[in-house]
Amino acid sequence: MKKKKVLTPEIEKLKSFKKRSGWGCKRIAENMGIHEQTIYFWLIGRFNPSRLALEKVKEFLRIYDY
C-alpha cells in the first residue's frame, strides 16, 4: 500500500487557494516565478519545497489569498 505524503501547511493552503480560485498551476507558477511542474509536484506531495520556495509560497498567499 502506498503511503500518503504529508503536505506542509503552506502547500495545503496553496492547494486550497487553487481549488477556491480556479487558478491552474501555470497561473500560480507565473505569479510566483516558479516552474508550473514544480507547483504540481508540491501539490501532489511528490516533492517538498525548499525553505526559500516556502517563503515564495507564503508571499504569494499573502498577496493573492482571500
- Cα distance from N-terminal residue to C-terminal residue, the chain: 37
Q: Which amino acid would we find at residue 1?
A: M
- Every domain of the chain and the residues it spans: 9-64
Q: Which three cell numbers stand for residue 45?
A: 506531495
| Higher per-residue pLDDT: 28 or 66 | 28
In this structure, whether the domain defined by 9-64 belongs to CATH 2.130.10 is answered with: no
Q: Is the pLDDT of residue 6 over 90?
A: no
Alpha-carbon distances of 36 from 2, 3, 7, 25, rounded to whole Å: 25, 25, 17, 5
Q: Is the pLDDT of residue 63 over 70?
A: yes
pTM value is 0.89
Burial 41-50 (b: 16+ CB within 10 A, else e): ebbeeeeebe
4-8, 12-16, 42-46 — which is least confidently predicted?
4-8
